[in-house]
Homo-oligomer: A and B are copies of this chain.
Amino acid sequence: MPTSLDTGTLNFSWSQALIGGLVAAGVERAVISPGSRSTPLALAMLRQPGLDCEVIIDERSAAFFALGAARASRRPAIVLATSGTAVANWLPAVVEANLAGVPLILISADRPPELQGIGANQTMAQPGLFGEQVRACHAMGTPKQGFDSKALSTLAARAVEQASWPHPGPVHINQPFREPLIPATATPPTPAATSVRTSRPCSQPDPAAIAELAKAMAGRPGLIVCGELPPEHGFAEAVASLAEHLACPILAEPLSNLRFGRHDRSHLIVHYNQWLSQQAAAVGKPAWILRFGAFPVTRSLQGLLGEHHDVMALVDPWPRWSDPAHRLSHLLHASPLAVCQALLAAAPSAAPCGWLASWLAADQGHEASQSSAYARLIPHLMAALPAGCPVFVGNSLAVRMLDSHSGSSDKPLEFFANRGASGIDGNISSALGIAAERGRVVALLGDLTCQHDIGGLAAARGRNAVILAVNNGGGGIFEMLPQAALPEFERGWLTPQNIDFHHAARAFGLSYAQSAVGPALTDLVQAAIASGGPHLIEVTLEK
């Protein structure tokens, strides 16, 4: 670098080296919220080849949008904001990214050290703001003359690695700038950045642990339980082979992405939430449970995992401990696919005759018991979805309804939800981030969840997004909880929403339609998907 750039050009060149380094390390997407102090970085991003930039005003929406995109791509997305409360708006998405294992690179612009803590405008203590919610925080210095651009691209590569392995999650980079923020003259084009060629280990399970587990499972009745887990090519086939070999059922949540697709689904149990709590005795008690992925969503499956079993084994590739029921006997930190393959190779003998059949028989009796309107909505929606469609499902009731009533079929579908912290915040923005990555999305969201992130609709324009807002008159999840008996229930918990979704859709340029649950809804969703562009469909549930 020349040693006497004007400050504006220095700020820009420094930003070019940092952003170029992130792109060289594999980043492909950035979400920018406008601001003044962040100008050098925003300019470097907008001028960076190979970086897809989205501009979103509300930093909370911006971060959730990046979260959705990174969740779909499994690749870190950049989020940029200017100094002050702008940065604070990221925290909800940062928490979700931390708990859900989604890689994000959060870059906050800042005032320089001499303006910290003395009442300067839009200035607060930013380094460390996200505490233990981030994998790392890089408190950068102000750009300095004659800087080593390789040092910046190496830091960028390190930030990408920290956001990716061993536990994907958010990384914070705080970058102070001195004024002026704009280059005084024309700037050079982005130089080609080199990166560090990083590689990550194959997470093979400990052979001794596999041998011990195979021995404990051999010849005994058992269950495989699959919650939300990051996609791993070949896992669906491998776990199906394992279940076939063991003659055991797989209790698969929608977020496991095992329910829909052309792989072998013959061992799947998918209606458990309709019968398991009442009929557990009839199907018999498992001697072992092999868990993959996050702790389950539904109370029935949580109840099953809360009982005592001789073997309760969890397979998790990430350095975390997912056992709120306190029932684990074995924890295998390894790739789920590799564990399936290793157990198949160990070839424990199958479960006793009749074990699998009794579970499959119990489950088949519950295919058509959808009594409530919400329950009937789910099959209508499933029927409307084209093969390969990504579906984002909201908290809290929608994801449970999908779990209970979506069933299973050979049409491939891909499900996403914010289940790291299970918040009702940022769900619209997260869904739109998935649309940015996949080219389309269908989102199933409750009315309060929609209202919480209504400003997120600002990023819908031009996207193939169909948002189903299920209007059940407020927080329907609470109607299933003891709070429903309180005299203060309606005011304090149900909180019937009073947003007019027709006008909300039109405020942000979405087409709007309204429907009750029925075949017309299927047609409406199909037509919306076929016509492209953003749509909001309000689904009204008769009470």
Interface positions of A (Cβ within 8 A of B): 32, 34, 36, 39, 42-43, 46-47, 55, 57-60, 84-86, 88-89, 91-92, 94-96, 98-99, 114-115, 117-125, 128-129, 131-133, 180-182, 294-295, 320-324, 326, 421-423, 425-426, 448, 451-455, 458, 461, 475, 477-478, 481-483, 485-486, 488, 491-493, 495, 497-504, 506-509
Docked pose: A40 CA to B461 CA in angstroms? 42
Nearest 8 A/B pairs, CB to CB: A119-B322, A85-B423, A120-B324, A503-B507, A504-B507, A88-B91, A503-B506, A85-B92
Whether A425 contacts B36 by the Cβ 8 Å rule is no
Chain B residues with CB under 8 Å of A455's CB are 451-455
Q: Chain B's nearest CB lies how many Å from the CB of A83?
A: 9
Jot down 18 A-B pairs with beta carbons below 8 A, ordered by A: A34-B495, A39-B493, A43-B486, A43-B492, A57-B452, A60-B89, A85-B95, A88-B95, A89-B92, A120-B324, A131-B131, A182-B483, A182-B486, A454-B454, A454-B507, A458-B498, A458-B499, A499-B508
Chain B residues with CB under 8 Å of A508's CB are 498-500
Answer whether A492 and B32 are a contact pair too, CB < 8 Å, given A124-B421, A323-B118, A498-B461.
yes
Whether A425 contacts B500 by the Cβ 8 Å rule is no
**Which B-chain residue is minimally distant from A180 (CB atoms)?**
B482
In-complex Cβ contact of A483 among B36, B95, B98 (8 A): B36
**Which B-chain residue is minimally distant from A84 (CB atoms)?**
B421
Docked pose: A304 CA to B454 CA in angstroms? 43
In-complex Cβ contact of A492 among B46, B96, B425, B486 (8 A): B46
Q: Chain B's nearest CB lies how many Å from the CB of A135?
A: 14
This chain's copy number in the assembly: 2
Whether B182 contacts A423 by the Cβ 8 Å rule is no
Docked pose: A94 CA to B131 CA in angstroms? 15
Docked pose: A115 CA to B181 CA in angstroms? 47
Chain B residues with CB under 8 Å of A497's CB are 57, 458
Q: Chain B's nearest CB lies how many Å from the CB of A264?
A: 29
Docked pose: A479 CA to B517 CA in angstroms? 49
Chain B CB within 10 Å, residue with most, of A47, A131, A461:
A131
Whether A118 contacts B452 by the Cβ 8 Å rule is no
Whether A422 contacts B121 by the Cβ 8 Å rule is yes
Whether B421 contacts A321 by the Cβ 8 Å rule is no
Q: Chain B's nearest CB lies how many Å from the CB of A332?
A: 15
Chain B residues with CB under 8 Å of A85's CB are 91-92, 95-96, 421, 423, 425-426
Docked pose: A413 CA to B482 CA in angstroms? 48
Whether B92 contacts A88 by the Cβ 8 Å rule is yes
Docked pose: A426 CA to B257 CA in angstroms? 38
Q: Chain B's nearest CB lies how many Å from the CB of A511?
A: 13
In-complex Cβ contact of A423 among B122, B488, B491, B501 (8 A): B122
Docked pose: A507 CA to B455 CA in angstroms? 12
Docked pose: A530 CA to B359 CA in angstroms? 69
Chain B residues with CB under 8 Å of A486's CB are 43, 182
Q: Chain B's nearest CB lies how many Å from the CB of A462?
A: 10
Chain B residues with CB under 8 Å of A84's CB are 95, 421-423
Whether A114 contacts B506 by the Cβ 8 Å rule is no
Chain B residues with CB under 8 Å of A294's CB are 119
**Which B-chain residue is minimally distant from A328 (CB atoms)?**
B118
Whether B131 contacts A488 by the Cβ 8 Å rule is no
12 additional contacts (CB under 8 A) given A43-B486, A118-B323, A458-B497: A34-B493, A36-B481, A39-B483, A55-B491, A84-B421, A125-B131, A131-B131, A451-B458, A461-B498, A498-B509, A503-B503, A503-B504
Docked pose: A523 CA to B119 CA in angstroms? 39
Docked pose: A452 CA to B84 CA in angstroms? 15
Answer whether A114 and B326 are a contact pair too, CB < 8 Å, given A95-B88, A507-B499.
yes
Chain B residues with CB under 8 Å of A454's CB are 454-455, 507
